[in-house]
Structure formats: C-alpha cells, structure tokens
Amino acid sequence: PSRQEVSYFGAGPAPLPTSVVEAGAKAFVNYNDSGLGLGEISHRSPTANKILADAKANLSTLLDIPDNYEILFMQGGGSGEFSAVVQNLVPVWIERRRRRAEAEILKANPGTEKDQLNELVYQRLQKEVDEELKLDYLITGSWSLKASQEAAKLVGSKYVNVALDARKANDGKFGKIPTEETWSLTPTKREGGKGSAFVYFCDNETVDGVEFQSFPKSLEAQGQDEEDERLVVADMSSNFISRKVDVSKYAVIFGGAQKNIGVTGITLAIVRKDLLPPHTATPPPTLLHRLNIGGLPGPVVLDYATIAKNNSLYNTLPIFNLWIAGQVMADLVSEFGAQKVSGQEAVANKKAQLIYGALDKYPAVYQVVPDKSIRSRMNICFRVSGGDDAKEKEFIAGAEKRLLQGLKGHRSVGGMRASNYNAVPLENVQKLVQYLEDFANGQ
Ligand code: PLP
C-alpha cells in the first residue's frame, strides 16, 4: 500500500508528516543542491550550524522557553536521560551542600586553613550524603518505574525515595494517579525537612496510557530559598510539543524525538541554566570520587554542562535526524503562528476526544484501561470485550484489513493502544473511529 492508504497508530517510532519524510528523502540524497546528503556533512559545518540554530529557535518559539533555559540535543534516547538527570542533578545537590557547609564552618572558625576546611567539608558531606541525599520518584507507569530503577542502580537504592507507586492503590496495576495528599515527597525546609535532590515524574506514560492532566500542585515552588525549591524533572518523551507547558516550573524536561518530534537518534533536553556550571563543574571530580556515590561523575556525553558549552556539538550529532526534528517544529510554528503549541494542543485534544468518545459509546465492547481522570491524549489503551483473546484478535484482524496498523497494546498491558501523536492526521483518526463504530455494531 501507499503511505496515504495506511493509518499508523504505533507508539514509537511513530508516523511523521508525509511532507517532512518526502523532503527528508531528498535531503538525505542531496541537501539543497549541495551535492551531499545530510547524513554525510560535518556536524561542524555552517549548514549544520544553521539547522541547529533554527531547530532551537523553533522549539523556543513553540514552547515559549525562557532565556534562562538551555536547549540541548543529545543521543542516548529517553533511557539515556534516566541516567543523565541523576548524573547532573545529584552534583547540584552536593555543590549546594558543599557551599553551605563551607560557609558555616568558616563562620564558626574564621580563618580555617584551606586543606583543613576541605577535610571538614568532606566529612560533613559524607554524613549528609549518607543521611539526607534523596531522589524523589513518582512512579505512575512503566517508564517512570524504569527511570527509578536506573537511579537506584546508579547511586544506590537507599537514596531513591519512591514518593508514589501508583500500583499500590490500584490492585498492583498502573492506571490511576492517587491524590497528591497520599504522596510521600521528601519534605522541604518549609515543610520541616531538608528537601530532595529532585522530584522526577513521567508526564505521559506511553505503555500505560496515563497522562498527568496538569502540573502537580505539590511540586509548585514554595519560595526563592534553594532549600525550599523542588527541582522538578519531567520525561515528556511521548507528549512533547503536544500541549502548553510552563517551562519555568522545571529544572529539566527531556524526551526522545521518535514520537512527536522526529526520528529516533535525537534526544532533547531543556535545562535550567543555573543548574549548569559552576555547579556541575564543581565540586571537582575528586570530591565526587571521594564521596563515592555510585555512578558519579558519569560519562561525559551525558554531562549537560559539557553539551551546553559545546552548543550540542561536543561529539558527533546526527544532523539528518536533527533536520527532521527541526522541520517538524518549523512546520508547527508556521501552521499555528501566534497560537504556538496551543494550536497543536487543540488538535490533539480533538482527536483524542473522538477516539475516547467512540470507545465510551460502546462500554460492553470497549473498556478503556486507565481511569477516566488521567487518560492520556497520546496513547489510548483499551480492551475489547473485557480482554477476550479471540475478540481482540478479531478486532486486530479487522483493523489490518482496513490498513489501520500499530494498534496492538504493549505486551505488559495487553489489549489495544492507539497512539495519537501530532503527526497522526485527523482523517486517520476518523477512519479509526469509523472502524470502532462498525466493529461494535457487528458484535
Ligand atoms: N520515556 C518514555 C515516556 C517513553 O515512551 C520511552 C520509549 O518509548 C522512553 C522513555 C525510552 O526512550 P528510548 O527508547 O529513546 O530510550
């Protein structure tokens, strides 16, 4: 079949706008009549620099990214960022504690010799790391679970505070987000505690079809004091540029490109600049080594400060993949103009409502997996006839006949998953809705 005939609802890699892949095919062979394709040019060439600058500018426009944020293009996927956030933000915590310790020791004993001061600071930090270092994780689906496991592997499970395991309130399964009062975040200073290095959540859980409907209230800033700050990290791999985001609420937002932005091979990270040098440059590696916290300092390709200092070109960036992402963003900017990402949000909401509407119309035939309060607009997970194996097979076979593809759910959840990413055209959603109606009426 041709591209136009197939409606693809895969969860990632996911469909791209046809205009972008067609232009991409040309650019891969001979970019702008230069005689070379984009997979062949230097990442340090003026052409590559322009592609990089345009991609940054368009992402900035779409999401209204404030000036005090750095946009980084990296590799290693969303999974690489599970490690990167630990590797980059734990040293920020250490550096803040180091500065506090140094100031207090000097206040009590002015004129302490440098070597002695360093030793006293080290001893105090060793104790503080042991007793107070905490990384808060909200586990609402398989990707935040994986991220928390990676953190535990890197720095040790005793430092990971599972502030929420959504399975506990839902028969051992993901699919609900319990109210915030039930979460056990590490208390900040204002709350009578010492705060955590960061709070991590996954904005949209691709496998489980669970999406935070808004920014959690309990993660809102509580004041200017760094001891009252919660550094918030969000994985937006599967709902990036699909709705308005107040970037200023986050320390780090990251995501792999292969759902809403482009092809696999590029990872985006939006990082607050004050969390980069001097914080990650200091404490010096020797202090980190002496403190002996698991996987720190960590690989240089995941070091935000290094990537930022080198304008995302510390090592070879895949320029073809970057161009695709840049093109997708440029098209959204020109399509929605002043509406920016809110324009795309309206489209995403409309498409999601059409699909959920059809599913809800036939409760005997279709059962949406997650709770209504946290349904994802991007990954719509449902069962057919309560998960009856024969009926689900029949559903898939009927869908395939109409060239509705990629509807099988993740193996850990089962059933169906219709992914409704930005590049899924409204008409493909309408074809799916028609099939949902026809299949239900045939039962
Ligand atoms: N986070 C989320 C929400 C995802 O959906 C995925 C992949 O599907 C990942 C992280 C992992 O991304 P990658 O495969 O790029 O490492």
Cβ–Cβ < 8 Å for 420, 428 = no
**CA 79–ligand 1 middle distance (angstroms):** 6
Between strands 7-8 and 135-139, the pairing is unpaired
Distance 255 CA to ligand 1 centre (A): 7
Q: Is the minimum distance from the CB of 255 to ligand 1 under 6 angstroms?
A: no
Identify which of 104, 146, 141 has the alpha carbon closest to the alpha carbon of residue 125: 104
Q: Is 75 in the pocket of ligand 1 (CB under 6 A)?
A: no
Ligand 1 pocket residue status of 265, Cβ below 6 Å: no
Separation between Cα atoms, residue 439 and residue 382, nearest integer Å: 14
Which residues make Cβ contacts (< 8 Å) with residue 139, sequence separation at least 6?
145, 148, 162, 164, 165, 166, 167
Kindly state if the Cβ of 235 falls inside 6 Å of ligand 1: yes
Q: What is the per-residue pLDDT for 113?
A: 96
Q: Cβ(280)–Cβ(288) under 8 Å?
A: no
170 contacts 223 by C-beta, under 8 angstroms: no
Dihedral over Cα of 16, 210, 250, 101: its sign: negative
Output the CA 147–ligand 1 centroid distance in Å: 10
Distance 77 CA to ligand 1 centre (A): 7
| Position in ligand 1 atom list of the atom nearest CA 81 | 16
Instruction: Point out which residues pair with 200 in neighbouring strands.
Output: 137, 233
Phi/psi for 15 (5° steps) reads -65, 150
CA 226 to each of CA 70, 161, 195, 223: distance values in angstroms, whole numbers, following the listed order = 20, 20, 9, 8
Using the CB atoms, write b or e for 250-281: b if 16+ within 10 Å.
Answer: bbbbbbbbbbbbbbebbbbbbbbeebbeebbe
Pairing of strands 135-139, 160-165: parallel
**What backbone torsions phi and psi does residue 267 show, to the nearest 5 degrees?**
-120, 140
Query: Is 379 near ligand 1, meaning CB less than 6 Å away?
Result: no
Q: How far is the CA of 78 from the centre of ligand 1 (A)?
A: 5
The amino acid at 442:
G
For ligand 1, whether the C-beta of 140 sits within 6 Å is no
Residue 283 has a pLDDT of 66
Residue length of the chain:
443
> Dmax over Cα atoms in the chain, in whole Å?
85
* Nearest residue (CA) to ligand 1, atom 10: 78
**What backbone phi and psi angles, to 5 degrees, belong to 123?**
-65, -40
At 142 the three-state DSSP class reads helix
How far apart (Å, rounded) are the C-alpha atoms in residues 135 and 154?
12
Backbone angles phi, psi at 96, to 5 degrees: -65, -45
CB of 237 within 6 A of ligand 1: the answer is yes
Helix (H) or strand (E) holding 124: helix 114-132
Residue that has been written with the tokens 């349904």 in this structure: 375
Residue closest by Cα to atom 12 of ligand 1? 78
Question: How is residue 321 written in tokens?
Answer: 């993949």
Question: Residue 206 Cα, ligand 1 centroid: separation in angstroms?
Answer: 8
- Does 60 sit in the ligand 1 pocket, CB within 6 Å? no
Asked whether 81 lines ligand 1 (CB < 6 A), one says: no
Ligand 1 center from residue 228 Cα (angstroms): 30
Atom of ligand 1 at shortest range from CA of 204: 3
For residues 160 and 152, the answer to whether their CB atoms sit within 8 Å is yes
Nearest residue (by CA) to ligand 1, atom 11, is 78
What domains appear along the chain, each with residue ranges and CATH number?
Answer: 63-320 (3.40.640.10), 340-441 (3.90.1150.10)
What residue has token string 């046809």?
Answer: 18
Mutate to test the pocket of ligand 1, among 143, 261, 411 (most ligand atoms within 8 A of CB): 143
| ∠ Cα 376 378 379 (to 5°) | 75
- What integer pLDDT is reported at residue 280 of this predicted model? 66
> Is the shortest distance between the CB of 256 and ligand 1 below 6 Å?
yes
Q: Beta strand pairing status for 267-272 and 210-211?
A: unpaired
Please work out whether the CB of residue 141 comes within 6 Å of at least one atom of ligand 1. no
Q: Taking the model in full, what pTM does it have?
A: 0.97
Q: Take atom 9 of ligand 1 and give the residue whose Cα is closest.
A: 78
Query: Ligand 1 centroid to 428 CA: how many Å?
Result: 24
What is the block-wise mean pLDDT of the chain (443 residues), using blocks of 10 residues? 96 96 98 97 97 98 98 98 96 93 96 95 96 98 98 96 96 96 96 96 98 97 86 98 98 97 97 86 77 89 95 97 98 95 98 98 98 98 97 98 97 95 98 98 95
Could you write out the three-class secondary structure of 355-401?
HHHHHHHCCCCEEECCCHHHECCCEEEEEEHHHCHHHHHHHHHHHHH
Residue 12 CB less than 6 A away from ligand 1: yes
Two structure tokens written together for 429: 């959603």
206 C-beta closer than 6 A to ligand 1: yes
- Ligand 1 pocket test, pick from 73, 79, 208, 376 with the greatest ligand atom count within 8 Å of Cβ, gives 79
Respond yes or no on whether the N-terminal peptide bond of residue 283 is cis (omega within 30° of 0). yes
What residue type is assigned to position 146 of the chain? K
> Which of 59, 421, 12, 371 is CA-nearest to residue 239?
421
